[in-house]
Structure 1
Amino acid sequence: MNRKSFLRVTVGALCAVVLTQAHSETYPDKAIRFIVPWPAGGAADAVGRLVAQALTTQLGQTVYVENIAGAGGNIGTAQFVRSKPDGYTLYLATSSTNAASPHLYKRTGFEPIKDFTPIASVAAIPSILVVPAASPFKTPKDIIDAAKAKPGKLSYGSGGVGASAHLAGELFKSIAGIDVIHVPYKGSGPAISDVMAGQLSYMLDTGAVPYIRGGKVRAIAVAADKRLPLFPEVPTFTELGIKGMQMNAWYGVAAPAGTPEAVVTRVNAAINKALQTGALPKQLADIGAEVRTGSPADFSKFWGTELQRYEKLVKLTGATLD
């Protein structure tokens, strides 16, 4: 490399550093798009909108949700990872898309973790076993007995292959040793609607809280270590003698790979502050979510661990690869 070329490369690199630093110092100076790779009406959408609202307050710029649904969250995620890594496109990472999908789909359109910059954990919501309000089933054992009496007759719904409701449903099938039909939908909203209408026998959902409160569906068990404060009368599977039935959906915020560290630090601080103050903690609690805070490194480590855990879960349940 000659002297002119060397100077040109050096000056270019310095300019890039200066521009990046200047960008980070003024960030954000315009609206931020927040991609939720699931349709409106489900738990992911509810969490995404609450986080977007809180970030709008913390960052002083509008953070607006864009739902890009389909293929278990893969369509919106594949679009997201191609976004410019400038902090103006954020993303709601979920256990379904970012931990389960890589083990369920032959092609997702993205690389796990490699295509992302983890920013912060937000919350986790346990699955709740719900049945139609008029269902004769009062306990999980009632479902198991009915399924064993008539194999292939009962059905459960989910927000799609790889969604938390799908894996929870397959885990329940595996533990109980029953033959029931899985009916995937394009999001948990349409699925829970068919539970309400009696078209499905049951569902293990993370977004059922408002429907339980409204009397549209009935909760009969919680897939968690302890009962939910919102529904203290609903027992856990373990209490009912069904061991190993713990399942939740987790949510976090990420940016495209290559996003400046200063931007990541800024957004992480905003999220953690929102999770510790203001209305967000109660809003999340009201939909059955448990708040989770931490650094970008914490979230990255957790994400990697979850990828390994879900690989084992997918194998255990025998969930179908697409």
Structure 2
Amino acid sequence: MPALPPVSHPRRHALLALALAGICAPLLAQTTAWPTKPITLVVPFPAGGGTDLVVRALQPRLQKELGQPLVIDNRAGAGGTLGSALVARSTPDGYTAGVATTSTHAVSVSVYPKLPFDPAKDFAYAGFIGTSPYVLATTGALGKPDTKALLAALKAKPEGFSFASVGAGTVSHLLGEQFKGVAKVPLVHIPYRGAAPAYTDLISGQVQLMFDNPAGLVPYIRAGRIHAVATTAPNALLAGVPTFQQQGMAGFDQSLWYGIVFPAQTPKAVVERFNQALNSVLSDRAVAAELAALGVNAAPGTPDALQAAVVRDTAYWGRIAKAVGARVD
């Protein structure tokens, strides 16, 4: 058989381009068509807590924006790290996402020596949802103390107080430990699997103190079942509650952020599409008002901004965790 003539460079390049197009076309079509089926959004805390309420406020609008159902999957435990680990191990096809918080992605690395994921490597960051201050709440049986009166009560009967958190190794936990250090009393830490069960025991007086976000606490505060002593930052939802700084207590000015993450290696086009949808929803005045009613300030932004916050806050909370000796084995 006679040898075929060599293919010219232009023709060879054209054939190669066609071949690559044939290979890439299905992948490109899959990405540009995303989503074509329901998306699972893992919330690493129980239903009824602050994080869950924030996500459910966004769910209907996000579903409309994306054109597919957004299925909320509550996977609580270990301060939110169990659900976050599930997201990290999921197939990076864009159909499993997770809610990230300061606790799960900035604090956890400093307090869990055997953390089952690496916040810096195992996630594709999609963007912020919003930010929220923390509130120090007390059981209604204590009346309505300010920080000075509460510190006096703690010192008068230190064995009579314990503090709840939404999970060991969360910001809720670290702020409690920080307050314990200021009070100089042996407060007992009682960790819960999320906010909802902690609220139950705070209301009943099984525990006496708790740091958490306004989202879940405010209904009980307004009903008089628990009392808001101080906030870490001004918030319209708790306009009558003074900040720690206003009460002369420095070092309590932290806020929590909420964001959305996908498993690492999720196509960039998918992450960017979700970011566009999320920012569109957050820019809606009605959504912003609904979040504000939960004590959350909507914070549209870029994936890079969320990733930068993880890096910054990992260093910040690492110093706090070391100072209070917070470790979870």
Residue of structure 1 equivalent to 2:131: 124
* Deviations 1:119-164 (CA, angstroms, capped at 9, x unpaired): 0011111111111223235112222112222334311101110122
- Relative distance call for 1:12 and 1:43 in structure 2 (3 A) is farther
* Correspondence 1:219 to 2:228: yes
8 A contact 1:175–1:244 mirrored in 2: no
Question: In structure 1, what residue type is equivalent to 2:28?
Answer: Q
Query: Helix, strand or coil for the counterpart of 1:262?
Result: helix
Distance in 1 (alpha carbons) for counterparts of 2:96 and 2:224: 38
Query: Helix, strand or coil for the counterpart of 1:33?
Result: strand
Distance in 2 (alpha carbons) for counterparts of 1:156 and 1:264: 39
- Relative distance call for 1:313 and 1:14 in structure 2 (3 A) is farther
Question: In structure 1, what residue type is equivalent to 2:160?
Answer: K
Residue of structure 1 equivalent to 2:271: 264
Q: Report deviation, 1:92.
A: 0.2
Question: In structure 1, what residue type is equivalent to 2:38?
Answer: A
* Correspondence 1:49 to 2:49: no
Distance in 2 (alpha carbons) for counterparts of 1:59 and 1:230: 30
8 A contact 1:96–1:163 mirrored in 2: yes
Question: In structure 1, what residue type is equivalent to 2:238?
Answer: F
Query: Helix, strand or coil for the counterpart of 2:320?
Result: helix
The answer to which of 11-20 and 207-216 deviates more is 11-20
Larger Rg: 2
8 A contact 1:147–1:179 mirrored in 2: no
Distance in 2 (alpha carbons) for counterparts of 1:115 and 1:42: 26
Distance in 2 (alpha carbons) for counterparts of 1:264 and 1:213: 39
Q: Report deviation, 1:174.
A: 2.3
Residue of structure 1 equivalent to 2:300: 293
8 A contact 1:223–1:245 mirrored in 2: yes
The number of residues matched between the two structures is 312
- 1:223-302 to 2 correspondence within 5 Å? 223-224=232-233, 227-302=234-309
| TM-score using structure 2 length | 0.89
Query: Helix, strand or coil for the counterpart of 1:121?
Result: strand
Residue of structure 2 equivalent to 1:144: 151
8 A contact 1:126–1:222 mirrored in 2: yes
Residue of structure 2 equivalent to 1:210: 219
Distance in 2 (alpha carbons) for counterparts of 1:241 and 1:202: 19
**Equivalent in 73, 97, 103 of residue 96 of structure 1:** 103
* Deviations 1:242-267 (CA, angstroms, capped at 9, x unpaired): 11112322110011101111111110
Q: Report deviation, 1:57.
A: 1.7
8 A contact 2:94–2:266 mirrored in 1: yes
Distance in 1 (alpha carbons) for counterparts of 2:253 and 2:24: 47
Structure with higher helix content: 2
Query: Helix, strand or coil for the counterpart of 1:81?
Result: helix
Q: Report deviation, 1:13.
A: 7.1
Distance in 1 (alpha carbons) for counterparts of 2:271 and 2:104: 21
Q: Report deviation, 1:19.
A: 2.8
Distance in 1 (alpha carbons) for counterparts of 2:160 and 2:73: 38
Distance in 2 (alpha carbons) for counterparts of 1:212 and 1:12: 65
Q: Report deviation, 1:47.
A: 1.6
8 A contact 1:138–1:220 mirrored in 2: yes
* Correspondence 1:313 to 2:316: no
8 A contact 1:126–1:247 mirrored in 2: yes
The answer to which of 286-295 and 172-181 deviates more is 172-181
Q: Report deviation, 1:228.
A: 1.7
Q: Report deviation, 1:14.
A: 5.9
Query: Helix, strand or coil for the counterpart of 1:123?
Result: strand
Distance in 1 (alpha carbons) for counterparts of 2:89 and 2:20: 23
Question: In structure 1, what residue type is equivalent to 2:68?
Answer: Q
8 A contact 1:148–1:179 mirrored in 2: no
CA RMSD of aligned residues (A): 1.9
Unaligned runs of 5+ in 2: 1-16
Distance in 2 (alpha carbons) for counterparts of 1:111 and 1:77: 10
Distance in 2 (alpha carbons) for counterparts of 1:153 and 1:198: 11
8 A contact 1:20–1:260 mirrored in 2: no
8 A contact 2:155–2:183 mirrored in 1: no
- Relative distance call for 1:190 and 1:12 in structure 2 (3 A) is farther
| TM-score using structure 1 length | 0.91
Unaligned runs of 5+ in 1: 1-9
8 A contact 2:128–2:259 mirrored in 1: yes
Distance in 2 (alpha carbons) for counterparts of 1:112 and 1:315: 19
